[in-house]
Amino acid sequence: MEKELRLMKGNEAIAEAAIRAGVDAYYGYPITPQSEVMEYLTEQQPEDRTGMVVLQAESEVASINMIYGAAGAGKRAMTSSSSPGISLMQEGLSYMAGAELPCVLLNVVRGGPGLGTIQPSQADYFQSTKGGGHGDYHLITLAPSSVQEMYDFLKISFELAEKYRNPAMILSDGAIGQMMEKVILDEQVPRRTEEEIIKDFPWASTGKKNRERNIITSLELDPAKQEQVNLNIQKKYREIEEKEVRFEKVQCDDAEYLLVAYGTSARLCQETVKLARDKGIKLGLLRPITLYPFPMKEIASMVEKQVKGVVSVEMSAGQMIEDVKLAVNGKVPAEHYGRFGGMIPSPEDILEFMEKQIMGG
Amino acid sequence: MTEEIIIAGFGGQGVLSMGKILAYSGIMQDQEVSWMPSYGPEMRGGTANVTVILSDERISSPILSTFDTAIILNQQSMDKFEEAVKPGGTLIYDPNGITRHPEREDIEVYQIAAAEEASNMGMNKVFNMVVLGGYLKVKPLVKMDNVIKGLKKSLPERYHHLLPVNEKAIKRGLEIIQEYKKN
């Protein structure tokens, strides 16, 4: 069968991916630069296509709590928002991590802090990868750097979220959300039937029939029991860190210098690598695809071998650099380069920084 | 081959949809494409621009500061993007509403009176297709068959009865574009 090819915005691609991945429900609240997600879904009327529910909630707080409810019933539920809206959802996300519920959320990041600007930014790295809300938890965080990946990562995120019973975050930005590229679409996956939900998610509140009552809660007042809950959650994170790290390497085989960048910054850095190679500089790019779990071991092993200096490029004041420095562990110089507040660095500026701050000594 | 294009003008002129048709045309001939709009609190009457890249290779950065071709459709865009054309590159503009014509000597400059032509055709809305036709004459990188296919893909089916008039506008654009010589 010939593959279905379309020119789509990142925001539209992830909406189409949601329908085709058999997602049961989308609850959202509009905010630029991601409003196309709900626009596209409403236009497509997925209720007719697959029975998927699309609902504009009264707020972001309502959206995430609707998702809590749907996920508790074993449904595939998702939302999308942009930075200020994601901040509003943090309480709900912490509760979901505590109650071990899967869901997927998309953050099309804009410049902050506060209401900030609607232009692209990557300043929500800490919030996404280090928990965001209260308590000891992480979101499984994937960072698409193309429209095709916006499409592909939706399904992967649900698979990871469901496998580990933990919320997953797709950390995008205004550029990837608004840009159009070609997308190869896959075939429609049917939504899970009630029987399949009972079989796949024995923990879900599916109506008590011939089994013990399932309780979905993040509340456990007995500290000894609450510690055990935490130990179980942490055990999952160790497994995730062991098994689920994803990354892409560009011209890294002989690289003496290394850029680390994700999302839009990784696209800019691909150009920087070309510029550097034209000048005879052996520069490579490591693109983390999962930001949590972060490719610590890979960076550490590259530094052990031939890499003499690292620049972490991020449209922020320097967040991912903290993980990069942990991986580098002081063995070689590692610095952050970035623009923020909606400004985008140029590939030339990135190269100049590398030459002056790292290669220049 | 990689062609990096900026199309810039007023919101409502069809800048974004012209870029989309061009990008779809590239897909029709198996190219890699990207379409990156300026987005912001901008509505009809404000400025709008879009960067389109057509390439035989994987596209690295979709965000550019210099271009092989600039298609300029108002004075603000002329002020902003004339300098962004790479040396040896191409600038195409509609003189309608332009108060300061391009001054650079190191690029090729073309004029296309698309607004006037669209008005003569009795369909102001095909303005952007006249411009597209002009671009295709100067830079025949996408085959006309593929442009027509791209157009069909871009337009929702309810507008498919407008395909012939759009095609006609593209063909008029091919005919009327002229090299611009400073006096």
Using a CB-CB cut-off of 8 Å, the residues of chain B touching A7 are: 20, 23-24, 27, 33, 35, 153-154
Residue B183 predicted with pLDDT over 80? no
| CB-closest option in A5, A118, A344 to B63 | A344
- Nearest chain A residue (CA) to B17: A180
ipTM score above 0.90: yes
Please check whether residue B28 touches A, CB under 8 A: no
Average pLDDT, chain A: 97
Please compute the mean of the pLDDT values over residues B107-135 and round it to a whole number.
97
Residue B125 predicted with pLDDT over 90? yes
Residue B41 predicted with pLDDT over 70? no
Please check whether residue A122 touches B, CB under 8 A: no
Out of A48-62, A215-229, B169-183, least confident range: B169-183
Using a CB-CB cut-off of 8 Å, the residues of chain B touching A118 are: 39-41
Other CB atoms within a 10 A radius of the CB of residue B85 amount to 23
Question: Hey, are the CB atoms on A7 and B34 less than 8 Å from each other?
Answer: no
pLDDT at residue A210 in the model: 85
Residue A326 to residue B82: CA distance in whole angstroms: 46
- Nearest chain B residue (CA) to A110: B40
Residue A195 to residue A241: CA distance in whole angstroms: 32
Question: Hey, are the CB atoms on B62 and A181 less than 8 Å from each other?
Answer: yes
Mutate to test the interface with A, among B18, B36, B60 (most CBs of A within 10 A): B60
Give A156-194 pLDDT, tens digit per residue: 999 999 999 999 999 999 999 999 999 999 999 999 999
Nearest Cα of chain B lies from the Cα of A7 at a distance, in angstroms, of: 7
- Tell me how many residue pairs between chain A and chain B have CB atoms under 8 A apart: 58
Q: How far from chain centre, in Å, is Cα A72?
A: 22
Question: Hey, are the CB atoms on A267 and B61 less than 8 Å from each other?
Answer: yes
Question: Hey, are the CB atoms on B27 and A5 less than 8 Å from each other?
Answer: yes
For chain A, domains (ranges, CATH) are 4-195 (3.40.50.970), 247-359 (3.40.50.920)
Please compute the mean of the pLDDT values over residues A133-139 and round it to a whole number.
97
pLDDT at residue A209 in the model: 80
Using a CB-CB cut-off of 8 Å, the residues of chain A touching B24 are: 7
Give A3-26 pLDDT, tens digit per residue: 899 999 999 999 999 999 999 999
Mutate to test the interface with A, among B2, B5, B61 (most CBs of A within 10 A): B61
A 75-104 residues with CB below 8 A of B? Answer: none
Write out the E strands in chain A.
Answer: 4-9, 25-28, 53-56, 77-81, 103-109, 140-142, 167-173, 180-185, 247-250, 257-260, 283-288, 290-292, 309-313, 334-337
Question: Hey, are the CB atoms on B40 and A180 less than 8 Å from each other?
Answer: no
Residue B116 to residue A282: CA distance in whole angstroms: 53
Domain boundaries, chain B: 2-179
pLDDT at residue B97 in the model: 92
Please compute the mean of the pLDDT values over residues A256-285 and round it to a whole number.
98
Nearest Cα of chain B lies from the Cα of A55 at a distance, in angstroms, of: 25
Residue B19 to residue A182: CA distance in whole angstroms: 14
* CATH code, B2-179: 3.40.920.10
Question: Hey, are the CB atoms on A180 and B20 less than 8 Å from each other?
Answer: yes
Nearest CA-CA partner of B37 in A32, A273, A149, A43: A32
Give A22-32 pLDDT, tens digit per residue: 999 999 999 99
Residue A125 predicted with pLDDT over 80? yes
Q: What band does A42 get if pLDDT is binned at 50, 70 and 90?
A: very high
Residue A79 predicted with pLDDT over 90? yes
Helices then strands (H, E): number in chain B?
A: 6, 7
Q: What band does B137 get if pLDDT is binned at 50, 70 and 90?
A: very high
